[in-house]
Amino acid sequence: MAENNGAESTETHGTPRQATPSGHALPGAPAPKAPAPEEPTQPQAPLPPASDQAAPATVTATGNSTGAEPTLRAQQSTYLTTAQGGRLPTTDHSLRAGERGPVLLQDHHLREKITHFDHERIPERVVHARGAAAHGVFRANGAAKSICRASVFDQGKETEVFVRFSTVLGSRGSADTVRDTRGFAVKFYTDQGTWDLVGNNIPVFFIQDAIKFPDVVHAAKPHPTREIPQAQSAHDTFWDFVTLHTEATAHTLWNMSDRGIPRSYRMMEGFGIHTFRMSNDDGTTSLVKFHWKPRLGVHSMVWEEAQIAGGMDPDFHRRDLADAIESGALPEWDLGVQVFPDTEDQMFEGIDLLDPTKIVPEELAPVKIIGTMTLTKNPTNYFAETEQVAFHPGHLVPGIDVTADPLLQGRLFSYLDTQISRLGGPNFAQLPVNRPHAQVNDMQRDGMHQSAVHAGVAPYKPNSLDGGCPFFAGADQGALIDVPVAIKGEATREKPASFEDHFSQARLFYRSLAPVEQEHTASAYAFELAKCYEPVIRQRAVDVLTQVDQELAESVAAKLGLPAPGPLDLDPVDVSPALSQVGSEWPVSGRQIAVLTCEESDPHAVGALVDQIFDAGLVPLVVAPTGEPLGGEDGAVAIARTYFTARSIEFDAAVVVDLPAEPEPAVGVMFGELQRQGKAVAVLDSAMEAAVAIGLDREYEGTSRIASTGEALPALRSALSRHRVWAR
């Protein structure tokens, strides 16, 4: 057989994976082209990545661009080889002493293959173990240049980014949709070095000082006796800690609200949590807090959706993110800052800016938008990118500096220590996904996993043997400048008096929620506390809630069968409408629409509706009794889900075109879920009676009767822009 020259085969197996003849593609294909029915035998080069995927930029371990295609980093050989490039005739059988004899120690391929397998897992993160990630670009609008000299904020500047979303408590194998805080970490590959903005989807933290971080994590993780529950805070040790350590009250309240179960990473806010210091070209400093604002608005699951997703699709959030990017509904966030004077007391309107359990309401300090981030490509390899990416809040660029926030100060040590432990040594910055896109000459040498080949004989300063290189940079060469900050006082383990206020911001948050959000929050408290074995912990939690809101405490007590606590005389607080997810309208792009059909449905009408939904920037998923395309091979409309496999959680709304003459029970279940979850349903006149017969309530506020498929999107748009039919 002649050797393949490495060119990619142009042969395409199977049919194109598209939803309609017009070419709109359904997301989720596992490979860039359809496979053949039989195992291929004709040698060909590895397939290229799918069109929605990207790999880390091709820079050297010292930050220099190679100009090479990123795909060249992937394995290229047409033939299976050893790690050293030796071609192999088989990988199915070990080398043995005779046909039935023992395996020989000299089988290098066996030992190399097994040894690598034994070591292919690295220690998972203690927190934020389960993550999903994407490549993207940040475009600055120039609005930050008056307060920050970092080049990443130059007008029109585009900077590559890599973003990782995650849950906090669960292991890598846990479910996406658990009630938990989410990580929101962004790596900016700027031309002045790497900047990591490492935050969460909740702007306040459980603790004020990093010395308590092991305590809160040990309390929230599974019980050490049974290693349960996984990825949940609904257990005794968590509630024992947060009811005794009441500085956690505000964060716990956010977590028990709908913010604890996001609908999608695409509809999730991000916060830098801490207050940072910015300096401009003149050396003038300001204090800032970072905010990521999703263009699609902030949206959460209701409890039923989260439970269904945990069983039906535990990968719900990572699938949603990847599918959106693949289908062209690119997620976007605006980056904004709240800006405060850099005063000696570092207070603003009575709020201590160094307390990470506090927010500054947007009504007091509006968020100034300074740029927009768009996620454009999925990772090519989960381990190499999503798993090995290493963030650190100390990775800063000129014009951005830290403050004395005691939680941030501890993170500056902890993150570096963690990456060295998890990634096997100090050279984790040389992994492709972590490599800076600015030139590096750090004089560091050797160590585990060193992949740079350093030249020169003088890795020290000062030197003359290497010509004095590397030299020091000044401010005009973009050097990192430590902003002088006055420090006074005695060494002490005490904290400011302002840190003692544990409840005013919890009251602010709860009273800013819409009534339906408050109801969800009370139910979440009751569910979680009911999972606690010890009655004293349940009672203590209710007692803490009296410091937040009397009606909330009474509601939770009633649900738990506990005596109603007596009222307290609480100081009044203002509300912040920006904290509620209800009451505004947002773009609807990227929302998923179920199109319910049957075998007899008109493929031309369904195809036209699918095209209309695609063209509006939404994602249609056609549901039918079987997976057989509508209309046969010519002019076929692809079926995305069958009634047997579909559940309401995937859909933001539904269009009922037709229903089977004898619908499966699953159809009625779906109607019930759509209505309970407040989702809009547009029903063709011809299908209304059949839909009502199996469970659709024609009086449901979200039901729209339409005469043709062309009326479907206008009927759904209002409810979609508000996320749900909130009257439900």
Q: Give kind and range of the element (H or E) at residue 515.
A: helix 515-530
d(CA 383, CA 357): 33
Comparing CA positions, the residue from 637, 543, 651 lying closest to residue 597 is 637
**Ligand-binding site membership of 164 (annotated):** yes
Phi, psi for residue 674 in degrees, rounded to 5: -60, -40
Q: What is the DSSP letter of 278?
A: E
**Residues 320/264, Cβ–Cβ less than 8 Å:** yes
Give the SS3 label for residue 103: strand
Phi, psi for residue 385 in degrees, rounded to 5: -115, -70
Between CA 321 and CA 327, with CA 326 as vertex, the angle to 5 degrees is 100
**Residues 163/201, Cβ–Cβ less than 8 Å:** no
d(CA 26, CA 17): 7
- Alpha carbon 252 to its chain centroid, in Å, reads 20
The catalytic residues are 128, 200
**Residues 179/232, Cβ–Cβ less than 8 Å:** yes
- Alpha carbon 180 to its chain centroid, in Å, reads 12
| The pair of three-digit structure tokens given for residue 280, joined into one six-digit string | 């401009």
Would you say the C-alpha torsion 436, 439, 445, 449 has a positive or negative sign?
positive
Q: What is the DSSP letter of 322?
A: H
**Ligand-binding site membership of 213 (annotated):** yes
User: Is the backbone peptide bond immediately before 462 cis, with ω within 30 degrees of 0?
Assistant: yes
d(CA 137, CA 158): 6
Comparing CA positions, the residue from 136, 318, 253 lying closest to residue 545 is 253
Comparing CA positions, the residue from 169, 187, 295 lying closest to residue 231 is 169
**Ligand-binding site membership of 415 (annotated):** yes
**Ligand-binding site membership of 182 (annotated):** no
State how beta strands 347-348 and 351-352 pair. antiparallel
Residue that the structure tokens 């505004």 belong to:
584
**Ligand-binding site membership of 17 (annotated):** no
Would you say the C-alpha torsion 133, 137, 140, 144 has a positive or negative sign?
positive
| The pair of three-digit structure tokens given for residue 468, joined into one six-digit string | 């004095």
Q: What is the DSSP letter of 197?
A: E
Residue that the structure tokens 């969800």 belong to:
520
| The pair of three-digit structure tokens given for residue 496, joined into one six-digit string | 């400011």
State how beta strands 158-167 and 182-190 pair. antiparallel
**Residues 450/459, Cβ–Cβ less than 8 Å:** no
Residue that the structure tokens 């049919």 belong to:
15
Is residue 369 exposed (0-12), middle (13-18) or buried (19+ Cβ within 10 Å)?
A: middle
Is residue 685 exposed (0-12), middle (13-18) or buried (19+ Cβ within 10 Å)?
A: exposed
d(CA 448, CA 435): 16
Number of neighbouring beta carbons within 10 Å of residue 30: 7
**Ligand-binding site membership of 705 (annotated):** no
Comparing CA positions, the residue from 488, 501, 461, 486 lying closest to residue 208 is 501
Contacts of 188 (CB under 8 A, 6+ apart): 138, 152, 159, 160, 161, 194, 195, 196, 197, 397
d(CA 135, CA 159): 11
Reported residue count of the chain is: 728
| The pair of three-digit structure tokens given for residue 4, joined into one six-digit string | 């393949």
Q: What is the DSSP letter of 556?
A: H
Amino acid letter, 716: L
- Residue positions forming the annotated binding site: 125, 164, 213, 411, 415, 422
- Residue positions forming the annotated binding site for heme: 125, 164, 213, 411, 415, 422
